[in-house]
C-alpha cells in the first residue's frame, strides 16, 4: 500500500519554522536610504551642553525657490494631516528638529529652562520667529500644538549669503566663555540667534553640588572651590569655610603658598586685612618664583598696586632676578607710572625669555613703554 505525502502538514512545518526563526532573528542593518541626512551637532559652554538633532534636506537645484514656497513656507500653513491646524515650518525635514540644553539658557536675552524642545520657525520675508515647543516626538509640523509652545523669539535673518549651502545645517560660532551664536543655514539664508548662560551662577551651583559629596573631604577640591570664589568675588563667607578646612593641619590640610594666599585674599575682601597680611607674611617663603609672580599679577588686577609692587620686589630679591621676576618688576613699575624703570626691567626680562611666545610679548611691551605708554 502506498502512502501519499501530507502536503498540508509539510507546509505547516515550513511555516512554523519560518515564524520561529523570524522571532529570533535580528533586523538587518542597512544605510538610511532617505534623501534627507540625519544630523547631530553640539557645543559645550561652561557646564552647559547644547545639542541639536535634525534631518537635513538639500537644495537640489532649487536655488531661489526655497524660501516662501511649499518647501519652507512663510507664516503658518494648514498641512492637511495630523493636528491639521496652522503650523510653522519644521526647521528641517522629516522628524521634528529638536534642541536640548542641560542648564537654563537665554535665547537672544529670553530665558529658557533646561530640557529638550521641538524647534520650529515661523518664516517671513524680512524676519522670523523661533519657536521652542514641548512636543519633541512629532513628524515635522504635522502635530504642532501652539499650546505647547514654551518660548517664542523674534529674529532677523541674514539673506543673500555668498555661499549656497546645499544641505540645511546648524552651526556654532563666535563662542565666548558664556555664549555662542547658533544659526540655521540653508541655501543663501542664515538665521542666527545667541545662546547665553549665567556662567557664574551655574559654576557656583556646580561647585557647591560637588563639594556636598565626597569632594567636600578633599583639601585640593576645597582649595580649588575657594580660589574660584575668590577670583570671581562671590560666595566669600562659604569660601572661607572651605579654605579653612583645606589648610587645617588636623585634617591633613595643604600648607602651600597658593592655599594660604587664597585664604588671605578672601579675608582681605571680607575686610579682615590685618589677619590677611599676617598670613601672607608667613606664606611668602613657601612661594615659587612663578607663584609669587602670579600673586602679584592678581593684586594688579584688583588695583592693589602697592601690594603688588611689594610682591614683585620680594620675588626679585628672593630669587635674585630669575625668570620671571624682571617681568614682575616691569609690570609693577609700569602700574606705578615709573616707565623708565619698567623699561629697564623689560629689557632684562627679554634676555631671559624662555621661548618665542614670551619673547614676542616682551618685545611688544618694550615698544609700548618706549612710546611713553603704560602697559595694560
Q: Is the pLDDT of residue 1 over 50?
A: no
Name the percent of the chain lying above pLDDT 70. 91
β-sheet with 110-112: strand ranges across:
110-112, 105-107, 189-196, 179-187, 165-173
Q: Where are the beta strands (DSSP E) in the chain?
A: 37-45, 48-56, 77-78, 86-87, 98-101, 105-107, 110-112, 115-123, 128-133, 149-155, 165-173, 179-187, 189-196
Residue 275 has pLDDT above 70, yes or no: yes
Q: Give the pLDDT confidence of 92-147 residue by residue, as tens digits.
A: 999 999 999 999 999 999 999 999 999 999 999 999 999 999 999 988 899 999 99
Confidence of residue 14 (pLDDT cuts 50, 70, 90): very low
Find the mean pLDDT for residues 198-204.
95
pLDDT at 12: 40
Which residue pairs from 59-64 have beta carbons closer than 8 angstroms and sit at least 24 positions apart in sequence? 59/164, 59/165, 59/166, 59/167, 59/186, 59/187, 62/187, 63/164, 63/187, 63/188
Q: Which residues in 46-127 belong to E strands, given as ranges?
A: 48-56, 77-78, 86-87, 98-101, 105-107, 110-112, 115-123
Instruction: Look at residue 9 in the predicted model and tell me its pLDDT.
Output: 39
pLDDT at residue 7 in the model: 40
* pLDDT band with cut points at 50, 70 and 90 for residue 32: low
Q: Is the pLDDT of residue 35 over 90?
A: no
The answer, yes or no, to whether residue 269 has pLDDT greater than 70, is yes
> Model-level pTM?
0.74
Strand partners of residue 119: 132
Instruction: Give the N- to C-terminal CA distance of the chain in Å, as an integer.
Output: 113
Mean pLDDT value across the chain: 91
- Structural domains in the chain, CATH included, are 37-197 (no CATH), 200-370 (1.25.40.10)
Task: Please report the pLDDT score of residue 138 as a whole number.
Answer: 86
Amino acid at each position: 500500500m502506498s502512502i501519499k505525502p501530507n502536503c498540508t502538514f509539510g507546509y505547516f512545518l515550513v511555516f512554523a519554522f519560518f515564524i520561529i526563526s523570524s522571532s529570533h532573528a535580528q533586523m538587518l542593518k542597512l544605510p538610511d536610504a532617505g534623501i534627507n541626512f540625519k544630523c547631530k551637532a553640539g557645543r559645550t559652554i561652561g557646564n552647559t551642553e547644547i545639542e541639536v538633532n535634525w534631518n537635513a534636506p538639500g537644495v537640489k537645484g532649487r536655488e531661489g525657490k526655497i524660501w516662501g514656497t511649499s518647501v519652507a513656507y512663510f507664516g503658518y500653513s494648514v498641512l492637511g494631516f495630523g493636528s491639521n491646524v496652522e503650523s510653522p515650518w519644521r526647521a528641517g525635514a522629516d522628524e521634528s528638529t529638536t534642541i536640548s540644553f542641560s542648564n537654563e539658557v537665554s535665547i537672544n536675552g529670553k530665558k529658557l529652562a533646561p530640557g529638550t524642545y521641538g524647534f520650529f520657525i515661523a518664516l517671513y520675508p524680512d524676519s522670523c520667529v523661533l519657536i521652542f515647543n514641548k512636543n519633541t516626538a512629532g513628524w515635522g509640523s504635522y502635530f504642532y500644538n501652539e499650546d505647547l509652545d514654551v518660548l517664542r523669539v523674534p529674529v532677523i535673518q541674514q539673506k543673500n549669503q555668498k555661499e549656497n549651502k546645499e544641505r540645511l545645517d546648524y552651526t556654532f560660532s563666535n563662542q565666548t566663555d558664556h555664549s555662542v551664536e547658533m544659526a540655521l543655514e540653508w541655501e543663501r539664508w542664515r538665521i542666527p540667534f545667541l545662546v547665553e548662560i549665567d556662567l557664574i551662577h551655574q559654576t557656583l551651583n556646580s561647585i557647591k553640588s560637588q563639594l556636598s559629596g565626597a569632594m567636600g573631604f578633599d583639601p585640593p577640591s576645597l582649595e580649588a572651590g575657594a580660589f574660584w570664589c575668590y577670583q570671581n568675588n562671590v560666595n566669600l563667607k562659604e569660601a572661607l569655610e572651605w579654605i579653612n578646612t583645606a589648610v587645617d593641619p588636623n585634617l591633613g590640610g595643604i600648607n602651600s603658598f597658593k592655599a594660604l594666599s587664597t585664604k588671605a585674599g578672601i579675608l582681605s575682601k571680607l575686610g579682615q586685612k590685618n589677619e590677611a597680611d599676617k598670613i601672607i607674611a608667613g606664606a611668602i617663603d613657601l612661594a615659587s618664583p612663578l607663584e609669587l609672580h602670579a600673586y602679584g599679577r592678581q593684586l594688579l588686577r584688583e588695583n592693589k598696586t602697592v601690594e603688588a609692587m611689594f610682591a614683585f620686589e620680594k620675588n626679585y630679591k628672593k630669587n635674585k632676578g630669575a625668570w620671571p621676576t624682571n617681568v614682575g618688576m616691569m609690570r609693577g613699575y609700569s602700574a606705578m607710572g615709573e616707565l623708565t624703570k619698567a623699561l629697564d626691567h623689560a629689557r632684562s626680562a627679554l634676555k631671559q625669555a624662555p621661548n618665542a611666545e614670551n619673547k614676542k610679548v616682551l618685545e611688544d611691551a618694550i615698544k609700548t613703554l618706549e612710546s611713553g605708554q603704560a602697559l595694560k
